[in-house]
Chain A
Amino acid sequence: MKSTIPWLIAAATGFVMIAAYFIPAAQGWQGEVGTWFEILAAFAFVLGGANLFAYHLGKISARRAGWGYSGVTLVAFLVTLAAGMLKLGVPAPDRYPTNAWAGDFQFEGSVSWWLYWYLYNPLNATMFALLAFYVSSAAFRAFRAKNTEATVLLVTAFIVLLGRTYAGAWLTSSVPENYSALTFPGMTAIILAVGNTAGQRAIMIGIALGVAATSLKVLLGVDRSYLGSDGD
């Protein structure tokens, strides 16, 4: 029973949203539902935060390996939370000079702003930049192509890379105009227009059917694993 009622709720809301797509008066509900979800996700943060706290506090109290770093995480967490919730260092905005709570918590010079610009953003951008190194190691692995499929992937990547850069255009610049399809930029254009487009469209059509089937299984109660079991 504990998963039957939630399933029925899921089914009811789901079929209502499907019907709403076809009813002019209800076509604006999609936006409302998005807003409600954002509110619910904000409530869920309390669960996440509580879990984070419990996880790291547990590590510290049990002195498990790496408990010092858990302490660092908790301190960073609490400082950021306090700075943002209490709007530390945020002056009242110019339009409402007496209302300190009306300011933007990301105001330049505030504690939250400092945390964002000198911790959040640089560390984030650096993690992103690591990808340049990982791409090279992935490419090296792909170079050891063991079958036809991997070879096709590799050759395509090579042609498109060259075709989109100056090097490729220069390498095949001596090819006559009539055979422009054999230059790197020419081959890239064909690959993108035919091969890439065909694959992308087939993947998208397949995904759409997969989403439809998964959604239906949720709405019909065939798949209820996200709700847990019946007996507890």
Chain B
Amino acid sequence: MVLALWGFGSIESARAQDAALAAPTGLKAVDHPNDVGTSVDLTWTLSVDDNARAQPRVVNGYEIYRSLVDGDEREMVGEVPYGVEKFTDQQCTAGVPYLFEIISVGTGEQRSEPARLAKPITPIRQWIDRSRAWFGVIVVLVCGAVILFTRLARFGKATYVREIAGLQAIDEAVGRATEMGRPCLFVPGLQDMNEIPTVAGINILARVARTVAEYDATLTVPTARSLVMTSARETVQASCLAAGRPEVYDENLVYYVSDEQFAYVAHLTGYMVRERPAACFYAGTFYAESLILAETGNSVGALQIAGTAEASQLPFFVAACDYTLIGEELFAASAYLSREPQQLGSLKGQDAGKLLAGALLIVGCALATWAALAGNGSPAESMLVFLKDTILGRGGAG
């Protein structure tokens, strides 16, 4: 009996030794695409002991080690929990070949034999991000259209531009201010010169300031940013010069108030109520204070022309101002007002961009509808995936 028990015990320990942790298999490494050569992507097949339903769990995770080809030392570069079959090492050096190995980790100190890479992998620096290649094509198409029509406009016939009521009313607004002997107010928005709507606002300021100089009216431009004040002064001075009235430029009328949104608007509303401008122009980025501005302008009887790219503020401008430039119209305004062929040509380029958008939408929706009707695995579905993930996404090499 004792002999049998002893035999039984030794069979048990033999079985325990035989039941070593299974290593993961199929370790593969590829250079991480579209990077500066500091990353390598590893994938493997889970260890056969890594069973999601096993209780208690046999495999708790994996450890990943890296070594140089001609070195003996290996260092641990990462660990992942069970069920995960990929890892990216982001601490490599470009051009240096590495060897990787991966080990299953069980409870206690149980570790499997390592699964090793057959050949070393060398992370390479890519100079171009190929995942953005199709996006680059779209950028070239859109910008190319703008540039092409801008150039063509110099030689071809005059470009038709539809009426934009708010811009046609500028002359009327300034004329009204001159007759009433009241000033005009121009608000270039809240943001700084690093935002394109502000640049668009300054471009509109150039046109408005020129009209004001020609009519011999007064234009006040309080700003919320010091850089905008600097640029606005240059702009208004140049406009007075272009109108042939350099002597009407008064730099004290273009001044800095405060960076804080509501302090700026507190000053503006105070100004409006005291000086009672006859024409108010708002062009740039506006936030919550847009309503206060527009309502106060209404209360003093000013003619208000507003334009912003902030979709959330457009309802208030639409409700409270006489004319509103919606979104893209703000960017079209300076071209429209200048009447220069090159500028008008750029508007045609913008329209070409919208045609591209419409075409992509129609083709895409047609493919999506066809794929929905044809079911999984149809050619329509693969074309749709290509369109959405590669052309319009980061697919392909990404």
> What residues of chain B lie closer than 8 Å to A130, measured between beta carbons?
292
Contact assessment for A203 and B326 in the assembled complex, using a CB-CB cutoff below 8 Å: yes
Binds B, one of A18-26, A93-101, A102-110, A177-185: A18-26
Report the separation of the CA atoms of residues A130 and B292 in the bound assembly, to the nearest whole angstrom.
8
Residues facing B in A145-193 (CB within 8 A) are 153, 157
B87 interface residue (CB < 8 Å to A):
no
> What residues of chain B lie closer than 8 Å to A229, measured between beta carbons?
234, 237-238, 241-242
Residues facing A in B149-208 (CB within 8 A) are 150, 192-194, 196-197, 199-200, 202-203, 205-206
> What residues of chain B lie closer than 8 Å to A222, measured between beta carbons?
150, 342-343, 346
Contact assessment for A153 and B260 in the assembled complex, using a CB-CB cutoff below 8 Å: no
Report the separation of the CA atoms of residues A135 and B291 in the bound assembly, to the nearest whole angstrom.
7
> What residues of chain A lie closer than 8 Å to B30, measured between beta carbons?
none
> What residues of chain A lie closer than 8 Å to B90, measured between beta carbons?
none
Q: Nearest residue in B to A231 (C-beta to C-beta)?
A: B241
> What residues of chain B lie closer than 8 Å to A232, measured between beta carbons?
237, 241
B125 interface residue (CB < 8 Å to A):
yes
Q: Nearest residue in A to B296 (C-beta to C-beta)?
A: A134
> Within the complex, what minimum Cβ distance (angstroms) separates A148 from chain B?
14
Q: Among A22, A51, A203, A209, which residue has its beta carbon within 8 angstroms of that of B353? A: A209
Report the separation of the CA atoms of residues A203 and B327 in the bound assembly, to the nearest whole angstrom.
6
Residues facing B in A190-232 (CB within 8 A) are 199-200, 203-207, 209-218, 220, 222-223, 225-229, 231-232
A47 interface residue (CB < 8 Å to B):
yes
> Within the complex, what minimum Cβ distance (angstroms) separates B362 from chain A?
14
Report the separation of the CA atoms of residues A66 and B353 in the bound assembly, to the nearest whole angstrom.
51
Contact assessment for A209 and B328 in the assembled complex, using a CB-CB cutoff below 8 Å: yes
> What residues of chain B lie closer than 8 Å to A47, measured between beta carbons?
226, 229-230, 256
Q: Nearest residue in B to A149 (C-beta to C-beta)?
A: B318
Provided the pairs A153-B315, A210-B328, A222-B343 are in contact, do residues A21 and B237 lie with their beta carbons within 8 angstroms?
no
Report the separation of the CA atoms of residues A27 and B129 in the bound assembly, to the nearest whole angstrom.
9
Contact assessment for A23 and B127 in the assembled complex, using a CB-CB cutoff below 8 Å: yes
A61 interface residue (CB < 8 Å to B):
no
Report the separation of the CA atoms of residues A22 and B260 in the bound assembly, to the nearest whole angstrom.
36
Q: Nearest residue in A to B200 (C-beta to C-beta)?
A: A214
Provided the pairs A141-B320, A228-B237 are in contact, do residues A23 and B129 lie with their beta carbons within 8 angstroms?
yes
Q: Nearest residue in A to B295 (C-beta to C-beta)?
A: A134
Of the listed residues A52, A58, A206, the one surrounded by the most CB atoms of chain B closer than 10 A to its CB is: A206
Report the separation of the CA atoms of residues A209 and B331 in the bound assembly, to the nearest whole angstrom.
9
> What residues of chain B lie closer than 8 Å to A153, measured between beta carbons?
315, 318-319
> What residues of chain B lie closer than 8 Å to A44, measured between beta carbons?
225-227, 230
> What residues of chain A lie closer than 8 Å to B142, measured between beta carbons?
209, 212
Provided the pairs A203-B311, A226-B234 are in contact, do residues A211 and B196 lie with their beta carbons within 8 angstroms?
yes
B382 interface residue (CB < 8 Å to A):
no
> What residues of chain B lie closer than 8 Å to A37, measured between beta carbons?
192, 194
Q: Nearest residue in A to B133 (C-beta to C-beta)?
A: A22
Report the separation of the CA atoms of residues A41 and B136 in the bound assembly, to the nearest whole angstrom.
31
Provided the pairs A134-B291, A225-B203 are in contact, do residues A216 and B196 lie with their beta carbons within 8 angstroms?
no
> What residues of chain A lie closer than 8 Å to B252, measured between beta carbons?
55, 58
Provided the pairs A24-B36, A222-B150 are in contact, do residues A206 and B327 lie with their beta carbons within 8 angstroms?
yes
Provided the pairs A25-B36, A226-B193 are in contact, do residues A137 and B234 lie with their beta carbons within 8 angstroms?
no
Report the separation of the CA atoms of residues A219 and B274 in the bound assembly, to the nearest whole angstrom.
41
Of the listed residues A46, A58, A229, the one surrounded by the most CB atoms of chain B closer than 10 A to its CB is: A229
> Within the complex, what minimum Cβ distance (angstroms) separates B223 from chain A?
8
> What residues of chain A lie closer than 8 Å to B311, measured between beta carbons?
199-200, 203-204
Q: Nearest residue in B to A42 (C-beta to C-beta)?
A: B226
Contact assessment for B34 and A24 in the assembled complex, using a CB-CB cutoff below 8 Å: yes
Contact assessment for A124 and B125 in the assembled complex, using a CB-CB cutoff below 8 Å: no
> What residues of chain B lie closer than 8 Å to A72, measured between beta carbons?
none
> What residues of chain A lie closer than 8 Å to B104, measured between beta carbons?
none
A118 interface residue (CB < 8 Å to B):
no
> Within the complex, what minimum Cβ distance (angstroms) separates A155 from chain B?
13
> Within the complex, what minimum Cβ distance (angstroms) separates A163 from chain B?
17
Report the separation of the CA atoms of residues A97 and B331 in the bound assembly, to the nearest whole angstrom.
54
Contact assessment for A23 and B291 in the assembled complex, using a CB-CB cutoff below 8 Å: no
Contact assessment for A223 and B203 in the assembled complex, using a CB-CB cutoff below 8 Å: yes
Contact assessment for A209 and B354 in the assembled complex, using a CB-CB cutoff below 8 Å: yes
B35 interface residue (CB < 8 Å to A):
yes
> What residues of chain B lie closer than 8 Å to A207, measured between beta carbons?
309, 327-328, 331
Q: Among B129, B199, B316, which residue has its beta carbon within 8 angstroms of that of A24? A: B129
> What residues of chain A lie closer than 8 Å to B225, measured between beta carbons?
41, 44, 48
> What residues of chain A lie closer than 8 Å to B350, measured between beta carbons?
209-210, 212-213
Contact assessment for B353 and A21 in the assembled complex, using a CB-CB cutoff below 8 Å: no
Contact assessment for A214 and B288 in the assembled complex, using a CB-CB cutoff below 8 Å: no
Contact assessment for B196 and A215 in the assembled complex, using a CB-CB cutoff below 8 Å: yes
> What residues of chain B lie closer than 8 Å to A23, measured between beta carbons?
127-129
> Besides A138-B320, A214-B200, A216-B147, 6 other CB < 8 A contacts?
A51-B255, A66-B274, A223-B203, A225-B203, A228-B235, A229-B238
9 chain-A/chain-B pairs, Cβ below 8 angstroms:
A24-B126, A44-B230, A51-B255, A55-B256, A123-B263, A203-B328, A205-B354, A213-B353, A225-B334
